[in-house]
Each structure stands twice: as C-alpha cells, then as structure tokens.
Amino acid sequence: MGCSDADYAYLREIVFHQSANLIDPSRNALFDRRLISVTRMAGVSSLKDLVAMLKGRRPAHLHRAVAEAMTINETSFFRDVKPFDLLRTAILPRLIESRRATRQLRIWSAASSTGQEAHSMAMLLLERFPEVASWDVEIVGTDISSRVIEYAQRGRYRRLEINRGLPASMLLRYTIRHGEEWEIVPSVRSLCRFVCANLCAPLPPLPSFDLVLLRNVLIYFSLQDRNVVFRSVHRQMASDGYLLLGNAEQAEESTDRFNIEFSEEERSYFYRPVQML
C-alpha cells in the first residue's frame, strides 16, 4: 500500500516548514522518486514507513533530509540562453565599466543548486571579458541543500551534466576529463565560492553584490515568502546593481524594491534596486 493523500500532505508540510518551498499536490510523484535515498538512510522499506517514522519519532535530521531532497532544482550550464546573451551584450559591459576604478566584482547565484550557473558565469567572464581575470572577482553560489553545495564545491560533473548546455569549445578550454567525470579548471573554480543558505531565513555573512541571479526559484515560494526573499536580496545589493529573474518570474507583483528595465537589443527584462528611504 502506497502513501495516502494525508501522507503526501504531511511531507509537503515538512518541506514548507524547512525551506518555505511550496510543492503543489499535482507533483506528489516527486516524493516517490526523490526520497528513495532518504528512505534507505532511515532504514525503512517504503515511503509510507518513512512518513510513519517522521510522524512518530520526529528525527530532525530526516526532516532536513526530506527538504533537501525535494528542493534540488533542475539546472544546466548556460541555462536559458537568452539571459546569458543579455549578460554578455548589455549588463556585464555596463557593470565592468562602472567598476573599472575599483576592479572588483561580486556576483550572487542565489539558488545555485549543483553549481552550473556560477561556473557558467565564471566561464562567460573569462571568455568574453578577459580583463577581469586580474580583478578581484567573486561569484558566490548559495543553496539550501548542503549536499548540492558539496557537489558544487567538488567541481566535477558527469557526462549527462556536461552535455547539458556547455559548448564544445568551452568544454575543451574549461574542463579536464577524469574518466567519466569532467573537472572544472582552477581558473574558473577560483572565481566561485559556494555557501549553504536559506533565502527565507537570516543569511550568512555575504558581501554586497553587483549582480544577482535569482532564477527559477521564486515559483516555489508563496507571495509572502517571495517578498521576504526580495527584501533580503535588496539588502545584499549594491545601489547600482542588477537583478536577473527566471523567464516566468516577476518582481513587481511581489515587491516595490526593484524597478524593471528593458533591453531593446535582447528583448529581455532585468531589474535595478530602488533606493529605500
């Protein structure tokens, strides 16, 4: 006998309590796939038995493990090509010009998952803006899951992951093959740092960011929690910084802390922080 609707509802509550992520009931099947390893770790034979254990003994580490397993989002190198075109042609040239005096650049991949977005940003900078190789550049990737942060820090990807979005020319220049894994080269990895952080909770110490990539994560939050996230992001941004959201996400319906701007060349939107009184 499988999980009941009440069991799935209980699992959704755990995820929401731990991470503020909302999982629609239509996606209950995700629990069956993603919690296999948690079920094994708990020493039980089925998801239903895992739910019974969670309800009975309430072991905190298993609650956390459930949330982490369910908040791993799909990612790839140079995901959604259009935002990276916008970065290459409009945002990064402006940003680099405005930071030429300090020669310092801080970028935040705010839902970095296994690190492909942060590593893509580093590759883009080295490929298109080689002058910044001598600058003080830091790309910080954060994610709620300690497991994916460790994966990102390791900087090694399997064939399927490498084949998702990484151009062949960049594969040759920016990775080193080790059997069936490809390791990101030191010149790229040295620009990236990965930190465990919950966007809906107090953030760990972070710098002021010139550019924030907050893509494909807001859709999992309630309106109230999106507002919390936008306040946190606004506090972490330079007054003349840039914010990029996912293709299906908007800031104006959740917050008044950002103004929307439009790039005619790339036919794309981005956001600039409003100066709060």
pLDDT in tens, 115-128: 999 999 999 999 99
Residue 277 has pLDDT above 80, yes or no: no
pLDDT in tens, 36-57: 878 887 788 889 888 888 888 6
Q: Write the CATH number for 45.
A: 1.10.155
Domain count, the chain: 2
Do residue 155 and residue 188 come from a single domain? Answer: yes
Do residue 112 and residue 163 come from a single domain? Answer: yes
Distance between start and end Cα atoms, the chain: 58
- Residue 124: per-residue pLDDT: 98
User: Exposure string (b/e) for 96-129, b if CB count within 10 Å is 16 or more?
Assistant: beebeeeeebbbbbbbbbbbbbbbbbbbbbbeeb
**133 neighbors 127 (Cβ within 8 angstroms):** no
Do residue 253 and residue 204 come from a single domain? Answer: yes
Last residue of a domain, one of 70, 90, 119: 70
Segment 95-105 mean pLDDT: 97
pLDDT in tens, 133-142: 999 999 999 9
Sheet containing 175-178, strands listed edge to edge, beginning at the edge strand earlier in sequence: 156-158, 181-184, 175-178
Residue 1 has pLDDT above 60, yes or no: no
- Residue 251: per-residue pLDDT: 85
Is the pTM for the entire model greater than 0.85? no
Q: Specify if 238 maps to a domain.
A: yes
- Residue 20: per-residue pLDDT: 65
Task: Quickly list H helices, 110-267.
Answer: 116-128, 146-154, 159-162, 168-174, 186-189, 223-235
Do residue 41 and residue 154 come from a single domain? Answer: no
**187 neighbors 126 (Cβ within 8 angstroms):** yes
Do residue 135 and residue 216 come from a single domain? Answer: yes
Considering only CA atoms, which of 115, 175, 197, 180 is closest in space to residue 148?
Answer: 115
Last residue of a domain, one of 15, 44, 70: 70
CA distances (Å), 80 to each of 18, 77, 85, 247, in order? 29, 9, 9, 8
Of the CA atoms within 13 Å of residue 142, those in its CB half-sphere come to 21
Do residue 64 and residue 109 come from a single domain? Answer: no
Domain span including residue 27: 5-70
Q: Write the CATH number for 88.
A: 3.40.50.150
Which residue type sits at 180? E
The better pLDDT of the pair 143, 26 is held by 143
